[in-house]
Structure 1
Amino acid sequence: MRLRLHRFRLSKAVPLAISRGTTSAVEHLLLELEHKGLIGRGETGGFDTGHRHYDTNAIAAELEALELEGLEPQPLQVLEPLLARLSPPARCGLDLALHDWWGQRLGQPLHRLWGLDPGACVATSVTLGLGEPSAVLARLERWRLQLPSTRIKLKLGSPDGLDHDRALVQAVRAALRPGDELQIDANGGWDLAGARQMIPWLAEQGVVLVEQPLAPLLDAEADTAGFAALQGLAPIPLVADESCWDLGDLLRLAPHVQGINIKLVKCGGLSEGLLMARTARRLGLGVMLGCYSDGGLLNSGAAQLLPLVQWPDLDSHLNLIDDPFAGPDREGDVLRPAARPGLGAQRLQEVA
Structure 2
Amino acid sequence: MRLRLSRFRLSKAVPLAISRGTTAAVEHLLLELEHGGITGRGETGGFDTGHRHYETGAVAAELEALAPQLETLEPQPLQALEHLFKDLSPPARCGLDLALHDWWGQRLGQPLHRLWGLDPAACVATSVTLGLGALESVLARLERWRQQLPATRVKLKLGSPDGLDHDRQLVAGVRSALRPGDELQIDANGGWTLDGARQMIPWLADQGVVLVEQPLPPLLDLEADRAGFAALHGLAPIPLVADESCWDLGDLLRLAPHVDGINIKLVKCGGLSEGWLMARTAHRLGLKVMLGCYSDGGLLNSGAAQLLPLVHWPDLDSHLNLVDDPFSGPERHGDRLLPAARPGLGVQEVG
Instruction: Give the TM-score range, shorter chain.
Output: over 0.9
**Cα deviations across residues 162-181 of structure 1 (Å, max 9, x unaligned)?**
00000000000000000000
Matched residue, 1:12? 12
Count, aligned residues: 349
1:166 and 2:168 are equivalent in the alignment? yes
Matched residue, 1:336? 338
Q: Report the 3-state secondary structure (helix = DSSP H, G, I; strand = E; otherwise coil) of the residue aligned with 1:86.
A: coil
Provide runs of 4+ in structure 1 moved above 2 Å: none
Matched residue, 2:225? 223
Measured in 1, the distance between the counterparts of 2:297 and 2:36 equals 27
**What runs of 5+ residues in structure 1 fail to find an aligned partner?**
none
Q: Report the 3-state secondary structure (helix = DSSP H, G, I; strand = E; otherwise coil) of the residue aligned with 1:251.
A: helix
Letter in 2 for 1:65: A
Letter in 2 for 1:16: L
How far the C-alpha of 1:85 sits from its partner, in A, is 1.4
Letter in 2 for 1:64: E
Letter in 2 for 1:192: L
Measured in 2, the distance between the counterparts of 1:265 and 1:172 equals 30
How far the C-alpha of 1:341 sits from its partner, in A, is 0.2
1:34 and 2:40 are equivalent in the alignment? no
How far the C-alpha of 1:328 sits from its partner, in A, is 0.0
Measured in 2, the distance between the counterparts of 1:299 and 1:84 equals 24
* Identity over aligned pairs, percent: 86
Residue in structure 1 matching 2:81, options 49, 56, 79: 79
Question: Equivalences for 1:118-137 in 2 at 5 Å?
Answer: 118-137=120-139
Question: Equivalences for 1:1-352 in 2 at 5 Å?
Answer: 1-66=1-66, 67-349=69-351
Letter in 2 for 1:41: R
Letter in 2 for 1:160: D
**Cα deviations across residues 257-296 of structure 1 (Å, max 9, x unaligned)?**
0000000000000000000000001100000000000000
TM-score (norm 2): 0.99
**Cα deviations across residues 98-154 of structure 1 (Å, max 9, x unaligned)?**
000000000000000000000000000000000000000000000000000000000
CA RMSD of aligned residues (A): 0.4
Measured in 2, the distance between the counterparts of 1:71 and 1:288 equals 35
How far the C-alpha of 1:74 sits from its partner, in A, is 0.5
How far the C-alpha of 1:233 sits from its partner, in A, is 1.1
Measured in 2, the distance between the counterparts of 1:232 and 1:347 equals 46
Measured in 2, the distance between the counterparts of 1:44 and 1:231 equals 33
Measured in 2, the distance between the counterparts of 1:230 and 1:348 equals 45
**What runs of 5+ residues in structure 2 fail to find an aligned partner?**
none
Measured in 2, the distance between the counterparts of 1:230 and 1:109 equals 40
Q: Report the 3-state secondary structure (helix = DSSP H, G, I; strand = E; otherwise coil) of the residue aligned with 1:65.
A: helix
TM-score (norm 1): 0.99
Measured in 2, the distance between the counterparts of 1:261 and 1:301 equals 16
Measured in 2, the distance between the counterparts of 1:143 and 1:124 equals 12
Measured in 2, the distance between the counterparts of 1:83 and 1:112 equals 25
Measured in 2, the distance between the counterparts of 1:47 and 1:95 equals 18
Letter in 1 for 2:42: G
Measured in 2, the distance between the counterparts of 1:63 and 1:232 equals 43
How far the C-alpha of 1:17 sits from its partner, in A, is 0.0
Measured in 2, the distance between the counterparts of 1:145 and 1:346 equals 24
Measured in 1, the distance between the counterparts of 2:234 and 2:245 equals 19
Measured in 2, the distance between the counterparts of 1:348 and 1:139 equals 25
How far the C-alpha of 1:348 sits from its partner, in A, is 1.0
How far the C-alpha of 1:232 sits from its partner, in A, is 1.9
How far the C-alpha of 1:35 sits from its partner, in A, is 0.2
Moved more, 148-157 or 230-239: 230-239
Q: Report the 3-state secondary structure (helix = DSSP H, G, I; strand = E; otherwise coil) of the residue aligned with 2:70.
A: coil
